[in-house]
Each structure stands twice: as C-alpha cells, then as structure tokens.
Amino acid sequence: MKRVWTLVVAATTLTVLALPAFASSGGHDEAGHGDAHGQPKDKASESSEFILHHVADDTEFEFELPFVHLPPIHIAELFGKEPGQGLFIEREPGACTRPVEKSQEAFASIFKFMNGCWDLRPTKAVLSMWIAMGLLALILFLGRSRDQNGVPRGVFANIVETLLLFVRDEIAIANIGKEEGPKYTPYLASVFFFVMCTNYLGLIPGFFTATGVLGVTIALSIVTFIMTQVAGIRSAGVVGFFAHLFGDVPTWMKPLMFLVEFLGLFTKPFALLVRLFANMLAGHMVLFFILSLIFVVHLGAAVVSVPLATGLYLLELFVALLQAYIFTLLTALFIGQGVALGHHHHPEGGDAHH
C-alpha cells in the first residue's frame, strides 16, 4: 500500500511540475499574442497551440524546468543555419525557401526533400533518442555487475537481468522457437529497452516523446520489416520465401493470392507504427488537454484537473511499458512467422515441396 501511495505522490508531483511551463506558454499570456490578423487570441486557442507545439517535432528544443525558463536550444543551427551549410543541403536553388503546398503540409519535410531541400539536421525527436540511447548505455553498464560466479549482484543488476530473461524466454523463444529465438534476442531486447526508455523519458516534464513522432515509429517498423523478411529468407530460402506468396491454391487463384500475401507483408509493420505512434501521441494530448482546463475555464478547475491528470499520468506509466512490450511481442510474432516458412516448406521426413 505504501508503494501505491508513493507512486501516486510522485505522479501528482510530476503533473504539478508541468503546470508552470504550460502556464508560461499557453495559459496566462493574455497580452502580446495575436493571430495572423493581429486579433488577440483567447485562452482556448493559446492552449491548443501549446499542446500541438508540445507534441510536434521541431528543430527548436524548449527545455523548461519548473519556475526556471531556459532559452530554447536551436538544435538545427548547430549543424548549419543557411542552406548549403553542414547538414542543411540545398540540391536545387531556392528549394528550401519554396512554400509548401497546402495538400503537403502534413508531410512538409518529405515534400521539401523530394524537391531538393535536404534538411538532415537533428530535431527534438532525434535529440530525445540520443538522450535515451545515452541513458540506456549507462543503465546497462551499471547493470553488468556480477559476482565471481557470474550471478547478478545488486538490485539494479537483477532488474536488468530479469528484463533480459523475460524478453528472451517469454517473447523470443515463446514466439520464434528454442532454436532460432536466441538468435533474435539481441534485436528484440534492443527494441524493448529503446522503446521503453524513450516512452518513459517523454513522461518527464521538459522532455519530448520521440515515439509520438510518426517518422520515428516508421523507422522502427521498417527495421522490423527488414528483419522479418530476412528471417523468412534465411529459413525457407529465396525460392521458398516467394513460393509461399502464391500459396497452395489452384493456379487461376495464384495471382490474387500473391497480391493478398504481398500486401500482407506491409500491413504488419504498418500496424506496428500506427499502434505505437497513436498511443503515445494521444496520451500526451489528453493529459495536456485536462491540464489546460485550469487556464481555459478557471483556476478552480485544478481541483478536478490535477486528480484526473494524476490518474492519467499513472496510466501513462503503465502504457509506456505496455507499448514497449506489445511492439516487441508483435515483432517476435512476425519474425516467428518468417522462421516458420522453413518448417512449412521443409518438413521433417517429407518432401521439400510437399
């Protein structure tokens, strides 16, 4: 019971610590702000803009400690301020200053890249992933403590060992098999720890959730897609891998079967990227929406908003771990399906193409 109350107090504290940054950016700044026509914005508009700005990726990293407002870090300027400098490459003259078409605003970076503006400078999501990888390296280094018999020594080392064994035994071996499962454990463990660390890092006030950015989840899903196809080709061979796309159906149905199976190769990673992205993005937006009621409605709304936000924050602590587990589990399932192709085309004691 004491642990539960400790967790509730910690969640409430972190929720309250997020309020000063929220208030300075979207709550009480009634003067000096206006829309495109110079009209003053209402609190609802300012709050919605703050929420969208907080969850969106950008080249400007605003790390605001409670009651201490630090100047924003312009990450991009460290890697080139003008087109043609550093990682800010302009393949065609004027490509980086060309306005983005309204239909392409959702994918502005891709639109600019296709038109010759290669802005390869890191963003908030990239910086957050760097921080997560640094923390992971430190955590795993501290968790390598062993005694003379090779047994983990200390609470921290035992926690890391327990998680690794869980990924190996309950995810890799359980879904891929005893023979092939250990071979894919390093990748699955890397995915699990990376997604989990990135998710939890975004729950700290002042930091950014990289997994709430579509580009990050797309990259993770592409790697999983490659690993899945490699597993299938390694297990069944190139001929067997493509043979399963046609299925064991009549000849006249094989073209349709090939189309269905081929599209199925891409729907699996698509489901991965959408699930992780949507859960992490929606959780943060709802959390900030509940907190915004304090500044949009009335300060008295804190009596309701803070407990609700605390409960949602506790749920987010669980969701952060759950999404890492689900992403890793589904990855193992997809790899296991690829490995199973070899057993399908090469059964023991039977013909190779039975």
For residue 30, the model assigns a pLDDT of 40
Q: Model confidence over 94-108: pLDDT tens digits?
A: 777 777 776 666 566
For residue 60, the model assigns a pLDDT of 67
Mean pLDDT across the stretch 294-313? 76
Tell me the pLDDT band of 53, cut-offs 50, 70 and 90: low
**Alpha-carbon span 30 to 354, nearest angstrom:** 74
Mean pLDDT across the stretch 311-332? 90
DSSP-derived letter for residue 23 is I
DSSP string, 301-336: GHHHHHHHHHHHHHHHHHHHHHHHHHHHHHHHHHHH
Q: Model confidence over 6-17: pLDDT tens digits?
A: 656 566 665 555
For residue 196, the model assigns a pLDDT of 93
Q: Model confidence over 135-189: pLDDT tens digits?
A: 988 888 877 777 777 777 777 788 888 888 999 999 999 999 898 889 999 999 9
Tell me the pLDDT band of 311, cut-offs 50, 70 and 90: confident
Highest mean pLDDT (candidates 23-27, 48-52, 257-261, 276-280) = 276-280
Tell me the pLDDT band of 293, cut-offs 50, 70 and 90: confident
Beta bridge pairs of residue 34: 40
Mean pLDDT across the stretch 59-86? 62
Highest mean pLDDT (candidates 6-15, 21-30, 230-239, 345-354) = 230-239
Residue 252 scores a pLDDT above 60: yes
The DSSP bridge pattern shows strands 88-90 and 117-119 to be: antiparallel
**Alpha-carbon span 339 to 107, nearest angstrom:** 35
Q: What letter represents residue 259's amino acid? A: L
Q: Model confidence over 117-128: pLDDT tens digits?
A: 777 777 888 888
Residue 195 scores a pLDDT above 80: yes
For residue 171, the model assigns a pLDDT of 93
For residue 141, the model assigns a pLDDT of 82
Compute CA distances 79 → 56, 57, 128, 310, whole Å: 21, 17, 17, 39
For residue 144, the model assigns a pLDDT of 76
Q: Count Cα atoms within 13 angstroms, Cβ side, for 163.
A: 22
Mean pLDDT across the stretch 31-48? 55
Measured torsion, CA atoms of residues 93, 97, 99, 100, in degrees rounded to the nearest 10: 80
Residue 112 scores a pLDDT above 70: yes
Burial environment of residue 123 by CB neighbours within 10 A (0 to 12, 13 to 18, 19 or more): buried
pTM for this entry: 0.78
For residue 224, the model assigns a pLDDT of 92
Q: pLDDT over 90 for what percent of the chain?
A: 17
